[in-house]
Amino acid sequence: MLQIIHLPNFIDYADGLRLQENAVEALVNGSGGELVYLLEHRPVFTIGRLRDQSSLRDAANLPHPVHETNRGGQATYHGPGQLVGYPILDLTPRGRDLHEHLRNIEDALIRACATCGVTAGRRENLTGVWVANRKLASIGVGLRKWVSMHGFALNVTNACLPAFVAITPCGLDGVAMTSLEAEAGHPIAMADAVAAVTRELRQL
C-alpha cells in the first residue's frame, strides 16, 4: 500500500524540497519505497524551472519570499490553509506517461473534493482542479529518472486566498482562486481534507 505521510507542523519550502529529494534518491537507488508527503508550508511564492517571473505582479514588493524550483508551471503560492501533496512515485511501471500521472492526481483530488461536499472538475487544456472558472487546486510535477516529485496544492480554507492577489496564478490571466471553504459555504477542517485526500491518493 502506498505510504502517505502527513506532517502536522508548518514546513519551510526548502525543508519540504529536501524531503522530496531524499525520497526520490532513495526510490531511484532502491533503498526506499513510494510515498506521498502531505503538509502545509509557511508562506512562500514559488516559480517553475523556467524561472519566469512575469506572473509575479510586483516582484520587488511581494509580502512573502520567492523560491525557484524545478517543477513545471509558473508562479503559485503556498501557505497555511492549503494542503500540499508531494507524490514520490516510480512512473516506469505506470507506462512513463506524465500526462496520465497528472490526470490521476486530478481525479484523486476531484473525488476528495466530492467527499468534502464540493463538486469540482477539469477545464479543457488546463491542468488543475476547478469549480467552473475558479481554480481550487494547482498541479506541477518534476521528474528524475521517471520518479515524480512536487505535486499539488489544494486550497482548503479561505486563509490561503489573499496572497494570490500578488501574482497571476500559474500565469493564467483572469483566473480567480477559490477554496473548499468558499465553495462549500462553511468551514472545512484541514483534518477532514487530509483524510479525504489520503483515501483517494492510495489509488495512484
Could you list the active site residues?
A: 170
Q: How far is the C-alpha of 181 from the C-alpha of 6, rounded, in Å?
A: 21
| β-strand partners of 38 | 6, 85
Q: What b/e readout covers 160-180, taking b as 16+ CB neighbours within 10 angstroms? A: bbebbebbbbbbeeebebbbb
| β-strand partners of 27 | none
How does strand 134-144 pair with strand 76-78? unpaired
| β-strand partners of 177 | 135
Interaxial angle between packed helices 190-201 and 98-115, expressed in degrees from 0 to 180 and rounded to the nearest 10: 140
Q: How many residues in the chain?
A: 204
Closest-CA residue to 110 (of 36, 197, 169): 197
Helix H or strand E encompassing 168 = none
CA 142 from centroid of its chain's CA atoms: 12
